[in-house]
Structure 1
């Protein structure tokens, strides 16, 4: 078993064992807002068990030892198709990170010097780490299933190789879905505009809001987001630094998809939206599509802005 898979299985097993104990004997009282917005004692057990199963299925088997020259040939066991395991790994990994999404609130609280709930911080951090390990195993297994280049992760001949290549269709779809999600959110606010546009801070916020919903997703999938265009004279023709686009894309996308996708959906299922259910669903769905589209388009940007592979001529 690869070291990454072994580390993931061991980490997830410990996380699962702790939550089984809490489910049976009683969970501790968290000093903050609880472990997760998702209610119940058993969801983390189910998620970590699924993640362990996925990591075991995705583990690359070791090569069988060579048979002696005179030994009769033995039929090789039929290998399982890798894609179901990869899909399960992605679902379980994202699920664990979503379950522990309030770890982000712990980090924000630390930045503002708020009292730290140590137990909650550690267990939520352990959940995020388990989800990240599961996703790393899924990415490695996905590369093997696609027969991607071990050096750069591209499938040479099918994956974009340079910043000047066109973005794949799925990335374009995700980016324009993000723009549509932002637009749907704004349409839901028509007639109930809560901001005073005469305030300078409000104007700055609205400009950044519009840029995150239009300029940012489009920069992820168009050439001018990877190479400075002619209408930026001092920098025209130079490569756009990856962090300048990826950092806001992952922060905004992860925050919107996590908060509104997890918290908003949970509140909807628990009936906590009250009489404004239709308006709230429009807002929640708009933000969720917006954030998810940014995350998907950002994965394409990561691939397209990698340095050229020396193994590809």
Structure 2
């Protein structure tokens, strides 16, 4: 039995070529790159200092940390649209647009901008790595945990960019 290097979906649900297996895997990895940092922020939002010395959150910061985690994970999950049928045809249940073809550039342009923005954000955020700026920890293990939680974010932009290129090639090139 031969294995396929592409993921085939029903022809009536897509208009592009099959998704390369590597692109499907990469798209599914993207939400996993954002998950550890989100899980690291939740205890902080709930009042556990995560080993950071002198943590005093303003009244709005717990909601910000939870919201940031949810928005980040939601944005990362959108990468799946580049390898799933709903990234090529609007699902039928969507009012007014259901069943219509998604113009390729309607996905490629925002995904490309997203990859650049995410790369810039994390390049800036990791500018003083591994010192972590003003953060001081009660124990070195807490610092290692924070770094391990945020380090996967550096993979988000290149994975998104690669999946975006695969989507463009599959839908726009002959």
Shorter-chain-normalised TM-score: which range?
0.5 to 0.7
Aligned to 2:63: 196
Task: Tell me the matched-pair count.
Answer: 141
- By how many angstroms is 1:298 displaced? 0.8
Alpha-carbon distance change, 248 to 285 in structure 1, aligned in 2, over 3 angstroms? farther
Rounded to whole Å, the distance in 2 between the matches of 1:169 and 1:292 is 17
Rounded to whole Å, the distance in 1 between the matches of 2:33 and 2:169 is 24
Structure 2, unaligned runs of 5 or more? 1-5, 9-13, 46-60, 138-142
- The structure number with the bigger radius of gyration is 1
Q: Residues 271-310 of structure 1, C-alpha deviation per residue, up to 9 Å, x if partnerless?
A: 3445353244234323222222211111111112216x3x
SS at match of 1:232: coil
Aligned to 1:237: 99
- Structure with greater contact order relative to length (CA < 8 Å, sep ≥ 6): 2
- By how many angstroms is 1:175 displaced? 0.9
Task: Give the CA RMSD over aligned residues.
Answer: 3.0
Q: Residues 227-248 of structure 1, C-alpha deviation per residue, up to 9 Å, x if partnerless?
A: 1122225323321123332233
- By how many angstroms is 1:217 displaced? 0.8
Of 58, 80, 90 in structure 2, the residue corresponding to residue 218 of structure 1 is 80
Rounded to whole Å, the distance in 2 between the matches of 1:264 and 1:281 is 12
Question: Given the two structures, how large is their TM-score scaled by the length of structure 2?
Answer: 0.65
Q: Residues 237-264 of structure 1, C-alpha deviation per residue, up to 9 Å, x if partnerless?
A: 321123332233222222223332x344
Question: Given the two structures, how large is their TM-score scaled by the length of structure 1?
Answer: 0.39
Of 152, 170, 185 in structure 1, the residue corresponding to residue 37 of structure 2 is 185
2:38·2:69 contact (CA, 8 Å) conserved in 1? no
Extract structure 1 runs of 4+ deviating beyond 6 A: none
